[in-house]
Amino acid sequence: MPTTKTDRVAIKISDDVVRVRQLTRALSVEVGLSLVDQTKIVTASSELARNTLDYGGGGEVTAEIVEQGGRRGVRLTFEDKGPGIADIEQALKDGFTSGKGMGLGLGGAKRLCNEFSIDSRPGEGTKVTIARWK
């Protein structure tokens, strides 16, 4: 899958979540996503960036414009070296949270995107990849 543009943003403080949203919005506009799709992936990026910050203890997002079979899309990869998630199925369940949030972020982000994959090992960190296609 060819990548035409790559950006990286570190997620260390809560202002970085705003920067992730702005970057995601800029890329979605560049790809030509509809307003609804833009809002969806921006919201998903906001959820995941905040998870990276709050539960992963900070990390990094890689934002890319990708192309496949003539279709363009935005792909975001969130990585942290935090405690990891022991039970991914439970984490994806609506209403479950190990913190103080609503417990909808991770599952919500999955529903807001075309592609979603999560890779996490306790003690090693978490990697979440999402994509939204035009």
Interface residues with other proteins (CB under 8 A) are 14-15, 18, 21, 25, 35-36, 38-40, 42-43, 46-47, 50, 94, 101-102, 104-105, 107-108, 111-112
67 vs 133, beta carbon nearer other proteins: 133
Rounded CA-CA distance 70/49 in Å is 29
Burial track 40-55 (b if 16+ CB lie within 10 A, e otherwise): bbbbbbbbbbbbbbbb
43 vs 67, beta carbon nearer other proteins: 43
User: Least separation, in Å, of the C-beta of 34 and other proteins?
Assistant: 8
First to last CA, the chain: 15
User: Least separation, in Å, of the C-beta of 123 and other proteins?
Assistant: 26
Quickly list DSSP for 7-42. EEEEE-SHHHHHHHHHHHHHHHHHHT--HHHHHHHH
User: Least separation, in Å, of the C-beta of 23 and other proteins?
Assistant: 13
35 vs 123, beta carbon nearer other proteins: 35
User: Least separation, in Å, of the C-beta of 71 and other proteins?
Assistant: 21
DSSP element (H, E) containing 3: strand 3-11
88 vs 92, beta carbon nearer other proteins: 92
Rounded CA-CA distance 107/93 in Å is 6
